[in-house]
């Protein structure tokens, strides 16, 4: 899950596993696999970085030490 900000400055959390596309139109629009669209203030690059950080956190949490 990643935290993003609507254009009215309210925050919400979105399941990044359900994101299909992120595009700049020029506002950033996140489209989920079920077709829902969310317009957010973060840039495409910021969304990508948040997803990478989230996935890294998950991978590290499940890492098994030899």
Q: To the nearest whole number, what is the mean pLDDT of the chain?
A: 95
Q: Quick check: bond before 21 cis, omega within 30? A: no
- State the CB neighbour count (10 A cutoff) for residue 58: 11
Q: Report the alpha-carbon distance of residue 25 to residue 54 in Å, rounded.
A: 25
- Model confidence over 36-63: pLDDT tens digits? 999 999 999 999 999 999 999 998 888 7
With a pLDDT cut of 90, the percent of the chain lying above it is 88
Q: Report the alpha-carbon distance of residue 23 to residue 32 in Å, rounded.
A: 12
pLDDT confidence of 19, banded at 50, 70, 90? very high
């Amino acid at each position: 899950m990643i935290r993003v900000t609507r254009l009215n400055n309210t925050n919400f959390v979105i399941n990044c596993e359900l994101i299909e596309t992120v595009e700049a139109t020029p506002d950033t629009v996140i489209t989920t696999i079920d077709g829902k669209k969310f317009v957010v203030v973060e840039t495409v690059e910021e969304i990508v970085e948040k997803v990478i950080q989230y996935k890294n956190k998950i991978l590290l949490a499940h890492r098994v030490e030899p």
